[in-house]
Structures are given as structure tokens and as C-alpha cells.
Amino acid sequence: MAMGMGMGGPGGGMMRGFRKDRSVVEHKLGEGVVRRVLGYARPFRGLILVFLVLIVISAVLGVVPPLLFKDIIDRGVLGQDRQLIVILALVLAGVAIADAVLSLVQRWFSARIGEGLIYNLRTQVFDHVQSMPVSFFTRTQTGMLVSRLNNDVIGAQQAFTSTLSTAVSNIISLVLTLIAMISLSPLLTLAALVLVPIFLIPARIMGSKLADLTRRQMQGNADMSATMTERFSVSGALLVKLFGRKDYEHDSFAEKADSVRGVSVSIAMNQRFFMALMGLLAALATAMVYGVGGWFAVGGALSVGTLTALAGLLTRLYGPLTQLTNLRVDVMSALVSFERVFEILDLKPAIADKPDAKEASGIASVEFDNVTFSYPSGADASLASLEKISVGDRARPNEPVLNGISLSVEPGHTVALVGPSGGGKTTTTHLIARLYDVTGGVVRVGGDDVRDLKLASLQHQIGYVTQDAHMFHDTIRANLLYARPDATEDQMWQAMAAAQIDELVRGLPDGLDTVVGERGYRLSGGERQRLAISRLLLKAPPIVVLDEATAHLDSESEVAVQHALDTAMTGRTALVIAHRLSTVRNADQIVVLQHGRIVERGKHAELLARGGVYAELYRTQLGGTD
Ligand SMILES: Nc1ncnc2c1ncn2[C@@H]1O[C@H](COP(=O)(O)OP(=O)(O)O)[C@@H](O)[C@H]1O
Ligand SMILES: [Mg+2]
């Protein structure tokens, strides 16, 4: 197979350049990375074996044509043997065809191996990231995570295809070419190799310079796309418009684009310089071989055919040499990509099923027993390399947010959580579904410590409606089915009727198949909330948590949503964070949270009579007048 040039084309140069990073070579690989990487190769060992055999065959085929040239000239042309010329020309053609077919087959194998590996790594990383707790996502930059899933996974598979084939085929080509050359003429081989050292030194220097430039180019590109992702999201675009910062945005984007422009021009020139240098040296070596060889051919010390063969072999000497010069860096870079992927796979999901986890009992009670909680620190929750804005105090433990919380909700009862903003109400509810784990004490659902239950079965027990209900960018139908995949159309309409959203959906152009969510049809706050409630009704969990579900709504939609919420709470165990008097007043128990502690609890009338925090809240927040 033709080996191509060391730096690849302008496009290929970027990937290759990046992998030729100096710092990458100096990077120390962790223990066992190589062994672990080989583990990923194991499923493909059959394919890899065939692939290597094919590479060897095509490397051998590559050396054949120049040797045939020799015989065509020496024995055919000079020996006046026309028949031999025809036969050898046909053999040459046959080799060329075999080479072409082989290259296709080889590509099929390398694609199967490479893409198979990407598939395995991708699905594994995706599943693993999904199993990470919320704290991981609150700290991690989505863009960084996505780039691990894309770029690093692709970088990692290169170890198996490009790098593997580059190494094997170039070493074999080089050895075979050298053997052939030496056997033809040791003297001319020496003449050809005289220039090699002169050639290798600039190749290495240029390689690392290009690596540095390419890394800067990639950073610049990443910067630009990060800006675009954020500014082109609906809320980002809105913010820019509302603050009239279009010119500022232009300038800051132009600055990034400009630095990419500058670096890219340098890369183009460096690459061309490298190519020109390489072409020049190959041409000089050819001149050398023809010059020295021609000199000896005149004296009869060398046949014309040998001279031609040597010139042909020469072209197969420089390509492999260039690629092998950079091979070590390529291998190391591929391994580093693997390591970056492993870094994610090695994050232990802090919240996971115990080996002996059991199903939830189905009893719809919730109990907090002396619960203390502080949010996990950055070091515990995520990877510094995924956070972009690195915070100095990653390791510092956070202040406790909840302190000695004890409360219980009997099946079918409603407990209202009230208190000033930041008091810990939302945090409290998050502990029930194990979005976070307690730092001290126990949270029980149906009498069982939530940490002893299977996560899926626990989450099946609980439904949340929050202020900002999220819908996927998909149809209303798909969003509803997400809560209950086997729901019939009738059941969906019932749920929507109960949430008083059916009229609206019926009136939409595509009804149930209207696309909503992030970029779809914009539902108003109240409409989205009611759709979220119908989703909850379809899920029909025995326990519901309503976290200020009506807080952002105007009074008209609030009434509609409140009706829907009342339906959702009927017959269910409910924890309600509300700012609405009627919900709070009718609760079986009101719990007042302030600075992470329960400061008061009881029924509405008792608490009001006490004249404490609740009485104050009643006047200021709940809008009470009596
Ligand atoms: N993801 C988080 N990481 C660290 N601290 C948080 C996080 N979420 C909330 N907090 C802090 O926890 C405290 C309680 O917040 P929260 O439970 O949302 O209060 P409430 O719902 O009563 O307004 C606040 O001081 C808040 O700053
Ligand atoms: Mg809150």
C-alpha cells in the first residue's frame, strides 16, 4: 500500500498535529493503562490479526514493482526479450490490481475495528455518565463532557487503526525496502541514506511546532463553539438582546475568530514548508542515486535496471521514515486519549444501588430521622478538568445546609414546607428520591432507608413537579409517554383532562404530536406546568413532591394549575413547598424551615397563634390578612 506523506493532507494534518504534542510525549501514563487498552482490543483480536496480515501482504507487494522494473530493463529491454517484457508488465498490472483490492479490504477491517471500538467506548461512557449523581452535573460543563465523548473516544480508537497500521506497515516497508536496496547495491543505499539525518531533524522540529500551533487552533475552535452554544440558546440570545450587548458580543467573538485565523495561517505555512522540505530532500536523494548510480552504470559496475529499481525503491524509503519519526508521539497521544476516557469511567457514581438493594415496599410514607446534609465539595462531585472555571476551594467541604431535620409524612397525608428562601426546603425534598444522599441521619420511604432500596424502584414511588418543569424537544405524546411508556391514548387524554390542559392540546395544530420543549412550540409557564402535572398523573406515583409549582404563574394560570395540583395530591402522600395560603392551611402538618433547621411545626391555627416565624411568613409571604 502506498504510505502517503508523513504529515497527511491539510485536513489530516490537524488531527495528527494535535497528537504530536510535546507535552503528550512527556506525559506519564498511569499504571496499567496499556493493559487496560489491550482489554478493549480483545473483542476484536480476530479482526486485528487479519488486518495485520493484510498490512504485511501489502507492504511486501509494495516492494515488488521496483524489482520488476529491473528485470524488465535488464533482461527484457537490454536482453531483447519481448515475451518477458509482456509477462512482467502483466505481473506489474496484476500487483497493482491486487494492491488496490487489498487496500479496500484493509480499510474495511480497520473501519470495523475502529468504529467497533468507538461504539463500545461511547456506549460505556454514556451509560456511566448517566449513572452519575446530580451533583456531578451541577458542576460539570456540558460542552466538556460532550467533547470527551466525541474527540477523546475518537482519539483513543486511533491507537488501533492509524497508529497500529502506521507502525506495522511502515516498519515492514522500511525493512523490506532496505533489504531490497542493499541487495541491489550497498553503495547506492548508503548514498541514499546520507541525507536521512539531515531530513529527520527538521521533521521533528516542525512536528512539535505544528503540534503546538494545532493545539492552539483546537482551543480557539472550542472557545468559539462554546460561545456559540451558549449565545445561540434561547435564553442566551434573549439575554444578549435584552441587555443590548450585540456589539460587545461581536467584538469578543471576532477576537476569538481572529486568533484562530492567525494560527491557521501559520499552520498552513508550516505544513507547506514541511512538505516542500520533504519533497526537496526526496528529490535530492533521487539526484544522488542517479548521479552516483549513473556514474557507476557507465563503468558497467551497475546495470541500468538496478539503477531504475533503486530509484523506485527510494520513493518507498522516505514516506515510512517520516511517519516512523512521529510514531512514538502518535502512540502516546492515543494512550492519553484513552486515559482521559478512563478518567471518566473511573469516577465512582456516589449514588448507586447496593448489591443487596431491595424493591420499595409500596407503603407511601416518608420519614426524616435527624437528617444532616451538606452539598458535596467539587473534589467529591466531579473532575476538575470538566469544570472549565476551576474553583480554588474545590476540596473545601460545604457548610451544612440541613441540620437535625426530623419529620414524618403518613400515607395519604400532606406536609407543607414553608420558610424563607434558602432555608433548605428544596434540598430536603431532593433527599427523598436520592438526588443526593444524607450526610447524617436517615431518610426512609415506606419504612426503609432509601439507601437500601433499588434506585429505579424508589424513583418509581415519587413524582416531582417543580417551578421549571422540563420537557424534552419532542412531541407532547413522547413527553407524556416518558412517564409511562405503556400509556394508551385514552389514558393520556384523561391525565390531560385532570390537569386541565386537554382543551389546549386539542386546539394545537398537530394535537398530541405537536413538538414542545426546548425549541418546540412555546407553551406558557402555566401550560407547561399543567402538562408536567399530567405527566405526573400518568406516572401515578404514591408520593408527590410539589416544589413551588405555582410560584412563577400569573393568578389566572395559578388557579388552573392549583386545580390540577389538587387532583394530583388526592389520595397521595404529599410534600408541598407552597407560597399559597390554601395549600398550606389545609396541610396535615406545616413545617417551618429556617437556616436548615425546623424552627416550628404544627397546624395553621396553632402556628398563627404562636406569633413566631410562621405568623410573620403568613403576613409577608403567604399574603394572609387576619
Ligand atoms: N447544588 C448546590 N450546591 C451547593 N449549595 C447549594 C446547592 N443548591 C442549594 N444550595 C444551598 O443550599 C441552601 C438551601 O437551598 P434550597 O434548599 O434551595 O433552599 P429553599 O428551597 O428553601 O429556597 C442555600 O443556601 C443554597 O445556596
Ligand atoms: Mg427552593
Q: Residue 558 corresponds to which amino acid?
A: E
User: What residues have CB less than 8 Å from 409, skipping those under 6 apart?
Assistant: 365, 366, 367, 415, 573, 574, 575, 589
* Pair 204, 7: CB distance under 8 Å: no
Cell 496484476: give the residue. 94
Using 50, 70 and 90 to split pLDDT, how confident is the model at 14? very low
Measured in Å, residue 496 CA sits from the centre of ligand 2 at 26
pLDDT digits (tens, 9 = 90+) for 246-263: 899 999 999 989 999 999
Domain boundaries, the chain: 24-185+327-349, 186-301
Read off the pLDDT of each residue in 351-379 and give the average, rounded to a whole number: 90
Instruction: Give the pLDDT band of residue 394 (cuts 50, 70, 90).
Output: low
User: Rounded distance, CA 55 to CA 66, Å?
Assistant: 19
Phi-psi region of 209 (alpha: psi -120 to 50; beta: other; left: phi over 0): alpha
pLDDT at 613 over 80: yes
| CB of residue 139 inside a 6 A radius of ligand 1 | no
Pick the CATH number of 24-185+327-349 from 3.40.980.10, 3.90.650.10, 1.20.1560.10, 1.10.3720.10: 1.20.1560.10
Query: Which residue has the least CA distance to atom 24 on ligand 1?
Result: 422
Q: What is the mean pLDDT of the chain?
A: 83
Helices (H) and strands (E) in the chain, counts: 26, 12
**Mutual orientation of helices 234-242 and 246-298 as an angle, nearest 10°?**
120
CA of 337 to the centre of ligand 1 (A): 36
pLDDT at 334: 75
pLDDT at 62: 87
Place of cell 539526484: 287
Give the pLDDT of residue 159.
64
**pTM for the whole structure:** 0.76
Nearest CA, atom 2, ligand 1: 375
Ligand 1 pocket, 424 CB below 6 A? yes
What band does 10 get if pLDDT is binned at 50, 70 and 90?
very low
How does pLDDT run across 511-523, given as a tens digit for each residue? 899 988 766 667 8
Contacts of 442 by beta carbon, 8 Å cutoff, 6+ apart: 367, 368, 369, 370, 371, 449
Alpha helices in 131-245 (DSSP H): 134-139, 142-147, 153-157, 162-184, 186-193, 196-231, 234-242
Give me the half-sphere count of Cα atoms (radius 13 Å) on the Cβ side of residue 507.
Answer: 7
pLDDT of the residue at 588: 92
Which of 3-7, 36-40, 368-372 holds the top average pLDDT?
368-372
**Predicted confidence (pLDDT) per residue in 166-191, tens digit:** 888 888 888 999 999 999 989 888 88
Closest C-alpha to ligand 1, atom 4: 375
Beta bridge partners of 562: none
In this prediction, residues 149-168 reach a mean pLDDT of: 75
Q: pLDDT per residue over 448-469, tens digit each?
A: 999 999 999 999 999 998 887 8
pLDDT band at 591 (very low <50, low <70, confident <90, very high): very high
376 lines ligand 1 (CB under 6 A): no
Pocket-testing residue among 368, 372, 375, ligand 1, by greatest number of atoms within 8 A of Cβ:
375
Of all protein residues, whose CA lies closest to atom 20 belonging to ligand 1?
Answer: 422
Q: Which residue's CA is the closest to the ligand 1 atom numbered 8?
A: 427
Q: Relative to the CA of 135, which ligand 1 atom is closest? A: 1
Any ligand 1 atom below 6 A from CB of 425: yes
Contact 207 CB / ligand 1 (< 6 Å): no
Ligand lying nearest the CA atom of residue 418: 1
Helix or strand holding residue 408 (H, E) = strand 400-409
> Counting ligands in written order, which one lies closest to the CA of residue 423?
1
Which ligand 1 atom sits nearest the alpha carbon of residue 419?
22
